[in-house]
Amino acid sequence: MIIAKDISLKIGKSVILKDCNLKIKPGCFTVVVGPNGAGKSTLMKTFTGELQRYTGTIQINGKLIKGYNSKELSKIRAVLPQHTIVNFPFSVEQVVEVGRYAHRTTQATNNKIIEEVLALTGLSEYRNRLYQTLSGGEKQRVQMARVMTQIHDTSQAPKYLFLDEPTSSLDLAQQQSLLSLAKDLINKNVGVLAILHDLNLATQFADEILFLRKGETIAVGKSNEVIKKEIIEKTFNHPVKIISDNGQKIIIPDIGIHSKSENLNTITYGHINY
Amino acid sequence: MYLNLQTIKGKYSFAFIWLIGLLAGLFIISLGIGALEITPIEIIKIFANQLGIYDSPSNKTMELVIFNIRLPRLLFTLLIGATLGLSGATLQGLFKNPLVEPGIIGISSGSALGAILVIMILEKIFPQIVEFARQWFIPVFAFLGGILATIMALKISMFEGKTKVTYLILAGVAMTSLASAIIGISIFYADDAQLRTFTFWTLGDLSVATWDKLGILFPVTCLSGIVLILLAKPLNAIALGEAEAYHSGVAVEKVKFVAIAFSALSVSTAVAFSGIIGFVGLVVPHIIRISIKSDNTVVLPASAIGGACLLIFADIFARILVAPAELPIGVVTALIGTPFFIYLLITAKKKRLI
Query: What pLDDT, in 10s, does the model give residues A124-140?
Result: 999 999 998 898 889 99
Name, in order, each residue with C-beta under 8 angstroms of A216's C-beta and a sequence gap of 6 or more: A18, A19
pLDDT of A97:
92
Rounded CA separation A165/A169 (Å)? 9
Average pLDDT estimate for A162-171:
90
Q: What is the pLDDT of residues B335-351, one digit of tens each?
A: 887 888 788 778 777 76
Q: From the CA of B326, how many Å to the nearest CA of chain A? A: 38
Question: What percentage of chain B reaches a pLDDT higher than 90?
Answer: 27
pLDDT of A257:
56
Chain A CB contacts of B98 below 8 Å: 87-88
Q: From the CA of A260, how many Å to the nearest CA of chain B? A: 37
Nearest by CB to B248, from A50, A102, A273: name it: A102
Whole-prediction pTM: 0.84
Query: B50 at the A interface (CB within 8 A)?
Result: no
Q: What is the pLDDT of residues A216-228, one digit of tens each?
A: 999 999 998 999 9
**Are the beta carbons of A274 and B234 separated by less than 8 Å?**
no
Q: What is the pLDDT of residues B45-55, one digit of tens each?
A: 888 777 777 66
Q: What is the pLDDT of residues B178-214, one digit of tens each?
A: 888 988 888 888 888 888 888 888 888 888 888 888 9
Q: Is pLDDT of B56 > 70? A: no
Query: B233 at the A interface (CB within 8 A)?
Result: yes
Interface of B with A in 296-335 (CB under 8 A): none
Q: Is pLDDT of B312 > 90? A: yes
pLDDT of A256:
65
Interface test with A, best of B12, B159, B247 (most A CBs within 10 A): B247
Q: Is pLDDT of A36 > 70? A: yes
Least trusted range by pLDDT, from A119-123, A142-146, B321-325: B321-325
Q: B352 falls in which pLDDT band (50, 70, 90)? A: low
Q: Is pLDDT of B132 > 60? A: yes
Nearest by CB to B240, from A50, A78, A86: name it: A86
Q: What is the pLDDT of residues B221-280, one digit of tens each?
A: 999 999 999 999 999 999 998 899 999 999 998 999 899 889 988 998 888 888 888 888
Average pLDDT estimate for A2-24:
91
Q: B353 falls in which pLDDT band (50, 70, 90)? A: low
pLDDT of B174:
87
Residues in chain A whose Cβ is within 8 Å of chain B: 48-50, 69-71, 73-75, 77-79, 81, 84-90, 94-95, 97-99, 101-102, 107, 130, 133, 146, 150, 273-274
Rounded CA separation A12/B157 (Å)? 21
Q: Is pLDDT of A150 > 90? A: yes
Q: What is the pLDDT of residues A227-271, one digit of tens each?
A: 999 999 999 988 899 998 887 889 988 876 555 555 444 455 555
Q: How far is CA B259 from CA A89, B34, B98, B234, B296, in A?
A: 21, 38, 16, 11, 13
Question: What percentage of chain A reaches a pLDDT higher than 70?
Answer: 93
The residue segments making up the domain with residue B162 are 2-351
Q: B23 falls in which pLDDT band (50, 70, 90)? A: very high
Q: What is the pLDDT of residues A80-91, one digit of tens each?
A: 998 888 888 899
Q: Is pLDDT of B109 > 90? A: no
SS3 at position A158: coil
Rounded CA separation B252/B147 (Å)? 22
Q: What is the pLDDT of residues A168-216, one digit of tens each?
A: 888 999 999 999 999 999 988 999 999 999 999 999 999 999 999 999 9
Q: How far is CA A267 from CA A15, A33, A233, A259, in A?
A: 12, 17, 20, 19
Question: What percentage of chain B reaches a pLDDT higher than 70?
Answer: 93
pLDDT of A43:
94
**Are the beta carbons of A70 and B250 separated by less than 8 Å?**
yes
ipTM over 0.90: no
**Are the beta carbons of B295 and A94 separated by less than 8 Å?**
yes
Nearest by CB to A87, from B239, B295, B353: name it: B239
Nearest by CB to A101, from B250, B289, B295: name it: B250
Rounded CA separation B311/B76 (Å)? 10
* Domains present along chain A, CATH in parentheses: 2-88+155-253 (3.40.50.300)
Interface test with B, best of A88, A100, A103, A162 (most B CBs within 10 A): A88
Q: What count of CB pairs under 8 Å joins A to B?
A: 82
pLDDT of B191:
85
Chain B CB contacts of A107 below 8 Å: 6-7
Give the nearest chain A residue to B240 (CA atoms).
Answer: A86
Chain A CB contacts of B234 below 8 Å: 101
**Are the beta carbons of B236 and A107 separated by less than 8 Å?**
no
Determine the angle formed by the axes of helices B329-351 and B296-320, rounding to 10 degrees. 140
Q: B6 falls in which pLDDT band (50, 70, 90)? A: very low
- CATH no. for residue B145? 1.10.3470.10
Q: B1 falls in which pLDDT band (50, 70, 90)? A: very low
Query: B249 at the A interface (CB within 8 A)?
Result: yes
Consecutive H or E run containing B171: helix B165-189
Interface test with A, best of B2, B6, B8, B244 (most A CBs within 10 A): B244
Helix spans in B8-122 (H): 10-32, 40-51, 60-64, 71-95, 107-117
Per the prediction, chain B carries an average pLDDT of: 84
Average pLDDT estimate for B108-126:
82
Q: From the CA of A234, how many Å to the nearest CA of chain B? A: 33
**Are the beta carbons of B243 and A50 separated by less than 8 Å?**
yes
* CA angle (B327 as vertex; B324, B331 as ends), nearest 5: 165
Number of domains in chain B: 1
SS3 at position B184: helix
Q: From the CA of A258, how many Å to the nearest CA of chain B? A: 39
Q: From the CA of A264, how many Å to the nearest CA of chain B? A: 30
